[in-house]
Amino acid sequence: MKNNKHLVGKVLPDSIAEELEIEPGDELLSINDQTIEDIFDYHYLMNEEYVELLIRKQDGEEWQLEIEKEYEEDIGIEFTNPLMDEYRSCSNHCVFCFIDQMPPNMRETLYFKDDDSRLSFLQGNYVTLTNMSDHDIGRIIQYHLSPINISFHTTNPKLRCEMLHNRFAGDIFLKVDRLYEAGIEMNGQIVLCKGMNDGAELERTIKDLSRYLPHLKSVSVVPIGMTKYRDGLCQIPPFTKEDAVETLRIIHKWQEQIFAEHGDHFIHASDEWYILAETDLPEEAQYDGYPQLENGVGMLRLLEVEVRKALEQNRGDDREDVVSIATGRLAAPFIRKYVTFIQEKYPKLKVHTYEITNEFFGEQITVSGLITGQDLLRQLKGKDLGQRLLLPCNMLRSGEDVFLDDVTLQELEQKLQTPIVVAEQGGEDLLNGVLGETRGHTMKRRQNYEQADSSYSRET
């Protein structure tokens, strides 16, 4: 175990920690004479009604603190490193890795490849399990941490080693077996690459993974995201409409079979497949409560449902306003459609929906979360933006008003000379943004592409 320093970063007002005179800069040495590896050890040990903390003050003096509290009561400490350990970097070289396709000269955090199972619980990240030791699996089982989100991609051991460029990548299923036998809840992801893990290999993977039901709750199938920065990388052809139709045929066949046996659809296609296949999105019931929403599974269907539901609470009026919305190519046709629902109740509203082409990463990247400030500026300059421009919050970095290319929201607003409204991704938020009734925003991080803070990370 590494000897990490667990430094207090903040003490909450009126908390037990403040009463005990714990201060920012103090170091937590142990709990009940046990060394703390990371945040999971901390929470597990601190749940008890009686704990003993060993604290080293900034002057070097050590305090032994005895605390009596309610079960699971928090004492009000936040640490300078929220994980209380180094972030674990990825040991794979996946053929589909998005970070390997990043342009040069971007901020450092965008190049950090995390493959840390602990972030799976804390932030919903998907991990390959190749970094996990028997000790790590044992701690997950001991603390019964779930769900864990796993990037499977294929259940063919040889193919998985080839796709991840890691000779140990095919050995993860003994770990999955242990998690399954312990009743740990899991979700899965398959990044599909044409000519590799599609077709018959996808059939095999779905069949193999279905054996982990009911503890493996859901699996998503998403197409590889390819930027224009693939020089020196494996050349993978893009999927065609015919490929999408075939992929959906396989997924729907297994959905029907698994639903008949388990009452759950289990395997889900991301929205991109339906758009590429030029077919309708599934009805809401087919998404099983949207367990794979962060992978773009059902996001567009849910948005429609939420817009319609929000409109049911509105009587509408004759307000006159001109509003603009900027989004990616993937969502733009659907946003235009949902805006027409709004205009039925607000007929004098004029809404311009601008489809932003991703020139920064390449035109094959169509999601709104990877649109940069410079693309927005270049393509919206001189357009009729009306009284305000509405942007989805996933364009911005978590906790900051900054785009992937470090252009700030304030810079964009100034150069476009138009007020910008940033809204959450829900249907009610879209409606409120169009109506000018947004009450502020909280931004969701682009967790699939960026480690929010790698200041505690190093190569392992």
Residue 214's CATH number: 3.80.30
Does 390 share its domain with 280?
no
Contact criterion met (CB below 8 Å) for 40 and 143: yes
pLDDT > 80? residue 457: no
Provide the pLDDT for residue 87: 73
- Residue-level pLDDT at 120: 55
pLDDT over 70 for what percent of the chain?
91
Residue range 66-81: mean pLDDT, rounded: 92
Residue 269 inside a domain? The answer is yes
4 pairs with which residues across the strands?
none
Asked whether residue 264 falls in the same domain as residue 326, the answer is: no
pLDDT of residue 286: 96
Among candidates 13, 16, 2, which has minimal Cα distance to 55? 16
Report the CATH number that the domain containing residue 72 is assigned in CATH: 2.30.42.10
Q: What is the mean pLDDT of residues 257-270?
A: 97
Q: Of 50, 79, 108, which one is at a domain's C-terminal end?
A: 79
CATH number, residue 431: 3.40.50
Q: Which pLDDT score is estimated for 90?
A: 78
CB 278 within 8 A of CB 241: yes
Whether the pLDDT of residue 441 is over 50: the answer is no
- In total, how many domains does the chain have? 3
307 and 284 together in one domain: no
Same domain, 361 and 263: no
What average pLDDT does the chain have? 89
With 60 as the cut, is the pLDDT of residue 288 above it? yes
Question: In this structure, is residue 442 part of a structural domain?
Answer: no
Residue 364 lies inside a defined structural domain of this protein: yes
pTM, 2 dp: 0.83
Residue 161: pLDDT over 90:
yes
Q: Among 3-17, 107-121, 255-269, which stretch is predicted with the lowest mean pLDDT?
A: 107-121
Say which residues have a Cβ less than 8 Å from residue 263's Cβ, sequence separation at least 6.
none
Residue 12 domain flag = yes
List, for residues 321-378, the tens digit of each pLDDT value: 999 999 999 999 999 999 999 999 999 999 999 999 999 999 999 999 999 999 999 9
What was the pLDDT predicted at 39?
A: 84
Strand-pairing partners, residue 108, are none
Give the structural domain span for 319: 303-435
Local confidence band at 162 (pLDDT 50, 70, 90 cut-offs): very high
Please tell me the predicted confidence (pLDDT) of residue 121. 57
Residue 449: predicted pLDDT: 34
Q: Are 111 and 234 in a shared domain?
A: yes
Q: What one-character DSSP code corresponds to residue 1?
A: -
Say whether both 291 and 317 belong to one domain: no
Q: What burial letters (b/e) apply to 1-34, b meaning 16+ CB within 10 Å?
A: eeebebbbeebeeeebbeebebeeebbbbebeee
pLDDT at 448 over 60: no
Q: According to the model, what pLDDT value does residue 127 have?
A: 86
Question: Does 66 reside within a domain?
Answer: yes
Between CA 386 and CA 419 the distance in angstroms is 9
The answer on 217 and 326 residing in a single domain is no
Provide the 8-state DSSP code for 431.
H
Whether residue 349 sits in one domain with residue 259: no
Residue where a domain stops, chosen among 271, 297, 323: 297
Residues 333 and 406 both lie in one domain = yes
- Write the single-letter amino acid at 135: H
Assess whether pLDDT exceeds 70 at residue 44: yes
368 and 387 inside one domain:
yes
CA distance 401 to 209: 40
Average pLDDT over residues 394-414: 91
Asked if residue 191 and residue 231 are part of one domain, the reply reads yes
Least confident of 22-31, 89-98, 102-111, 157-166: 102-111
In terms of domains, do 190 and 161 share one?
yes
- Report pLDDT digits (tens) over 216-261: 999 999 999 999 999 888 889 999 999 999 999 999 999 999 999 9
Rounded percentage of the chain residues whose pLDDT exceeds 90: 72
Average pLDDT over residues 311-315: 92
* Angle 82-100-293 from CA coordinates, rounded to 5°: 60
Domain membership of residue 244 (yes or no) is yes
Identify whether 440 is part of a domain. no
pLDDT for 142 = 87
The pLDDT of 121-131, averaged and rounded, is 78
Total length of the chain: 460
